[in-house]
């Protein structure tokens, strides 16, 4: 399966020694040059050493420097696309016409969705799908706008026959988390990753050895640090935003990918979606249709 973009991995590495951080900074600024360098040359150009570069390769889970360099050369186009998208977001202005507002909302939302693809590997999504498939119970936690996203995802899960929950109030979430077990799955949605109630939930789930997936912005945060699997969205909006546009859409996209993947890979989900289809929503003679099926 496709691995996460190596440049995104380098961005996410934290608490590195100064020498290794210097190597990463050099690579991010001069990726084309690195494609032509040996490990010794990269060490010399960064005023470090070949052993420093080798340690960095290990932390990035590559099979040595040749594999590391190959991934840099392969992933560079996608990384440059990511840099372009994130340095060309369109700010809103009080002087914007309605046409300007339409263009900016659509453009920025499109960029946010592309970030989801660039920031996460197919391996990570597949692992999330596998965990949903094997879980005895799935619970999606979120506060504020994230709670609306959690409720939407719960409805998708119910359509597919999952034993799935989402709650509106922290007290309910806390009690449910305390009852979670190791064969359950918790999914925590928080753009900032610093929502106090969700940090508490993450720690409760961890204490109970319950598998946990976090969906947060691509930054170091307390929720992702306490989760077993991290799925990311881009840092595109201020933490003090009102409601969120790009963040809401991108976090919902992450959950849509997970549940769509589960549906595509699970016959039980397909069978359940037929049974849970609410025919009376669309038909005036729904009772007649049910009676006819009952008599068959």
Exposure on the CB side of residue 107, measured as CA atoms within 13 A: 15
Q: What is the CATH number of the domain that holds 65?
A: 1.10.10.10
Does residue 202 sit in the same domain as residue 264? yes
Over its length of 296 residues, how does the chain's per-residue pLDDT go in tens digits?
556 778 878 877 778 899 999 999 998 888 888 988 999 999 999 999 999 999 999 998 899 999 999 888 888 877 766 665 555 566 677 888 999 888 888 888 888 888 888 888 899 999 999 999 999 999 999 998 899 999 999 999 999 999 999 999 999 999 999 999 999 999 999 998 989 999 999 999 999 999 999 999 887 789 999 999 999 998 765 544 545 677 888 999 999 999 999 999 999 999 999 888 766 555 566 566 656 656 65
The structure's pTM equals: 0.68
Q: Domain range for residue 175?
A: 119-275
Which helix (DSSP H) or strand (DSSP E) does residue 146 occupy?
Answer: helix 145-159
Does residue 137 sit in the same domain as residue 75? no
Which helix (DSSP H) or strand (DSSP E) does residue 198 occupy?
Answer: helix 196-207
Cβ atoms of 283 and 293 closer than 8 Å: no
Q: What is the pLDDT of residue 124?
A: 92
Exposure on the CB side of residue 244, measured as CA atoms within 13 A: 26
**Total count of domains within the chain:** 2
Does residue 205 sit in the same domain as residue 258? yes
CA 296 to CA 291: how far, in whole Å?
A: 9
Q: How far apart are the first and last CA of the chain?
A: 46
CA 30 to CA 79: how far, in whole Å?
A: 12
CA 138 to CA 152: how far, in whole Å?
A: 14
Last residue of a domain, one of 34, 68, 84: 84
In a domain, 293, yes or no: no
Does residue 76 sit in the same domain as residue 132? no
CA 15 to CA 229: how far, in whole Å?
A: 19
In a domain, 92, yes or no: no
């Amino acid at each position: 399966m496709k691995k996460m973009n190596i440049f995104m991995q380098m961005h996410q590495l934290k608490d590195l020694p100064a020498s290794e951080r210097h190597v990463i900074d050099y690579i991010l600024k001069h990726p084309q040059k690195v494609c032509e360098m040996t490990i010794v040359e990269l060490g010399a150009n960064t005023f470090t050493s070949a052993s420093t570069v080798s340690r960095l390769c290990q932390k990035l889970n590559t099979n040595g420097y040749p594999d590391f360099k190959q991934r840099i050369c392969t992933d560079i186009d996608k990384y440059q696309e990511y840099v372009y998208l994130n340095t060309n977001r369109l700010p809103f202005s009080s002087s914007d016409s309605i046409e300007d507002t339409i263009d900016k909302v659509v453009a920025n939302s499109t960029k946010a969705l592309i970030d989801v693809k660039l920031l996460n590997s197919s391996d990570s999504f597949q692992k999330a799908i596998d965990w949903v498939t094997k879980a005895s119970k799935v619970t999606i936690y979120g506060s504020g706008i994230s709670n609306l996203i959690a409720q939407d995802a719960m409805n998708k899960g119910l359509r597919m026959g999952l034993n799935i929950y989402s709650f509106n109030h922290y007290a309910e979430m806390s009690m449910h988390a305390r009852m979670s077990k190791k064969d359950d799955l918790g999914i925590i949605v928080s753009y900032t990753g610093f929502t106090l109630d969700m940090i508490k939930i993450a720690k409760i789930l961890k204490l109970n050895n319950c598998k946990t997936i976090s969906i947060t912005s691509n930054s170091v945060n307390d929720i992702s640090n306490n989760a077993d699997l991290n799925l990311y969205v881009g840092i595109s909006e201020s933490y003090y935003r009102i409601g969120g546009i790009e963040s809401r859409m991108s976090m919902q996209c992450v959950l849509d990918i997970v549940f769509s993947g589960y549906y595509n890979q699970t016959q039980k989900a397909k069978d359940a979606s037929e049974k849970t289809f609410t025919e009376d929503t669309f038909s005036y003679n729904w009772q007649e249709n049910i009676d006819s099926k009952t008599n068959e």
